[in-house]
């Protein structure tokens, strides 16, 4: 594995982490600062009972428990951890904490593999080289050798980041950040700006605008180009939304479905056990299915991102025509 590719992947993962944690912090899990101030004012005014009742009525989606949710259930001195400042922080930034933890593990793993440069590779090195090589060949067939080399680090980082987060959602007492819409929309917006930045950089502003106008070649094409331009702009703006909703919907549905069957298994076990510590493992088949769907969703997100990039990059025959004119 080339060292410059590894360094670029690490840098991309670091930038991705900073952007995601910064954006996701603006979408607090429970309340925003203004809402928190309003809640404090209502408590001072004597509405604490009403506020508590309102919060108690809000339904929560069934999901698998994780380390943080279990910590919040613990009572210290008769006071639940959830009602303490530390508990509020853990509950508000639950997915950001898992996000930082996952990226830290990925970074440690990548740095640990830097020493795997044996002429006769072992099993781990052979698996990594085969995976990276296969993914690079796939991108090369889609973008071409020239652009695959330039954009492979970003596309590969995107895929492995999403895939690892999806897989962490299947590990007992863990969860992945891709089950949050704030994470998926941030990833999609990053792809949007990355695609159009390199589209303008590689093609030039005029050719990029020409592409958005439907690439008109004759009088009829130029006549309808304003309409095509508006339609293309709407289409481009819809791409981040479709990317983010697809990944978020599939991951959230997967977690809810698994959580429902987990709760159902505990209920069935409660029929023969007064206080069951474990339930009937009805959710187990869905975990194996989630291994497949999590990989597919990571691949779909990455593949569509690469296709969007390919659509705005100049094609080889366009580059040859441009050189012939000069």
| More reliable by pLDDT, 22 or 255 | 255
User: Which pLDDT value is given to residue 23?
Assistant: 52
Percentage, residues of the chain above pLDDT 70: 73
**Letter string b/e over residues 148-169, b meaning 16 or more CB atoms within 10 A of that residue's CB:** beebbbbbbbbbbbbbbbbbbb
- Of the candidates 171, 105, 164, 98, which has an alpha carbon nearest to the alpha carbon of residue 131? 164
User: Which pLDDT value is given to residue 163?
Assistant: 92
Instruction: Give per-residue pLDDT as tens, 42-86.
Output: 434 444 443 444 444 444 555 567 888 888 888 888 888 888 888
List, in sequence order, the alpha helices (H) in the chain: 3-25, 33-44, 48-57, 67-73, 85-92, 94-113, 123-143, 145-168, 181-203, 205-212, 219-223, 225-270, 284-312, 316-325
User: Which pLDDT value is given to residue 248?
Assistant: 92
């Amino acid at each position: 594995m080339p060292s410059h590719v590894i360094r670029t992947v690490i840098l991309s993962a670091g930038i991705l982490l900073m952007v995601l944690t910064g954006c996701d912090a603006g979408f607090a899990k429970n309340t925003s600062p203004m809402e928190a101030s309003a809640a404090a004012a209502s408590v001072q005014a004597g509405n604490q009972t009403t506020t508590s009742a309102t919060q108690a009525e809000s339904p929560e989606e069934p999901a698998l428990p994780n380390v943080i949710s279990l910590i919040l259930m613990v009572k210290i001195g008769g006071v639940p951890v959830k009602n303490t400042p530390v508990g509020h922080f853990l509950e508000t930034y639950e997915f950001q904490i898992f996000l930082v933890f996952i990226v830290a593990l990925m970074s440690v793993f990548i740095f640990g593999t830097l020493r795997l440069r044996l002429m006769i590779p072992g099993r781990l090195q052979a698996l990594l080289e085969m995976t990276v090589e296969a993914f690079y060949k796939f991108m090369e067939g889609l973008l071409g050798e020239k652009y695959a080399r330039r954009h492979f680090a970003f596309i590969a980082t995107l895929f492995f980041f999403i895939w690892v987060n999806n897989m962490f959602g299947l590990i007992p007492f863990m969860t992945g950040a891709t089950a949050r819409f704030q994470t998926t929309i941030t990833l999609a917006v990053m792809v949007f700006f990355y695609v159009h930045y390199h589209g303008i950089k590689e093609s030039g502003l005029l050719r990029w605008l020409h592409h958005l106008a439907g690439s008109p070649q004759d009088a009829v094409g130029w006549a309808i180009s304003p309409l095509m331009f508006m339609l293309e702009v709407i289409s481009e703006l819809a791409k981040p939304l479709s990317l983010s909703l697809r990944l978020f919907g599939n991951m959230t549905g997967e977690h809810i479905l698994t959580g429902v069957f987990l709760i159902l298994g505990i209920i069935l076990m409660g029929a023969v056990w007064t206080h069951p510590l474990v339930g009937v493992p009805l959710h187990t088949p869905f975990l194996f299915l989630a291994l497949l769907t999590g990989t597919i969703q990571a691949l779909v997100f990455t593949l569509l991102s690469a296709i969007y990039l390919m659509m705005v990059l100049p094609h080889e025959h366009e580059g040859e025509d441009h050189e012939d004119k000069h």
